[in-house]
Amino acid sequence: MARVRPSASRRASRPEGGEAGPNAVWFKPIMFGFMLLGLVWILVFYISNGQYPLPLPRGEESWNILIGFGIAFVGFLMTLWWR
């Protein structure tokens, strides 16, 4: 019985070694966007003396720092899947 080989176009679409192909075009801008948004969030918080981006009650301003680091962390997590 003869072995059936995939066509040339089918072989070209599959990378060697079974690895996934490159990321979509939108992946890198979103990744760096999250990192920059987190940085801007923290900078705005410090420059405005805690009044912006979220005006929180006295003593709870540190949530703004946590939110900023959380947004940036999402961007850094996306680097794990960047090809």
Tens-digit pLDDT profile for residues 31-66: 999 999 999 999 999 999 888 888 888 888 789 899
Indicate if the pLDDT at residue 4 is higher than 80: no
Indicate if the pLDDT at residue 28 is higher than 60: yes
pLDDT range class, residue 71, cuts 50, 70, 90 = very high
Higher pLDDT, 74 or 17: 74
Q: What is the pLDDT of residue 10?
A: 55
Indicate if the pLDDT at residue 17 is higher than 80: no
With beta carbons less than 8 A apart as the criterion, state whether 39 and 67 touch. Answer: no
Q: Which residues neighbour 61 within 8 Å (Cβ) at sequence distance 6 or greater?
A: 45, 50
